[in-house]
């Protein structure tokens, strides 16, 4: 799953049948570690009722369509609202690096 902030909404007068009654959002992908922007904004279908400026987690590819019962033709879907998260030394620890020890330890 990936992290993003909702930055806008997409309105369409005509869309594919299985996209009817689905909210399309403009999301800005972010890095989990520091919240910095990753690439440009993308369009994602909303599967969880998220709103403006919320932080969300999303999926891409086939998993995006599976978030809906009718399998719409989408490449990205917002599947949850992030209330908070904690990521400290995640990348370094996952790579097997040791945490520096303090004095006297």
List, for residues 28-75, the tens digit of each pLDDT value: 999 988 999 999 999 999 999 999 999 999 999 999 999 999 999 999
Residue 104 lies inside a defined structural domain of this protein: no
Show the domain range for 56: 2-94
Average per-residue pLDDT for the chain: 89
Residue 9 lies inside a defined structural domain of this protein: yes
Query: Does residue 11 have a pLDDT over 90?
Result: yes
Tell me the C-alpha distance between 103 and 13, whole Å.
64
* Short-list 76, 80, 68, CA closest to 20: 68
Burial class (CB in 10 A: 0-12, 13-18, 19+), 46: buried
Burial class (CB in 10 A: 0-12, 13-18, 19+), 54: middle
Q: What is the pTM assigned to this prediction?
A: 0.80
* CATH code where residue 80 lies: 2.40.50.220
Largest CA distance in the chain: 68
């Amino acid at each position: 799953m990936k992290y993003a902030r909702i930055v806008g909404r997409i309105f369409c007068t005509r869309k594919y049948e299985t996209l009817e009654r689905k909210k399309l959002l403009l999301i800005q992908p972010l890095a989990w570690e520091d919240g910095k922007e990753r690439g440009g904004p993308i369009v994602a279908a909303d599967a969880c009722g998220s709103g403006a400026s919320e932080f969300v987690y999303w999926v891409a590819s086939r998993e995006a369509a599976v978030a809906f019962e009718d399998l719409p033709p989408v490449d990205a879907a917002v599947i949850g609202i992030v209330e908070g998260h904690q990521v400290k030394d995640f990348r370094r620890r996952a790579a097997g690096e040791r945490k520096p020890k303090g004095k006297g330890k």
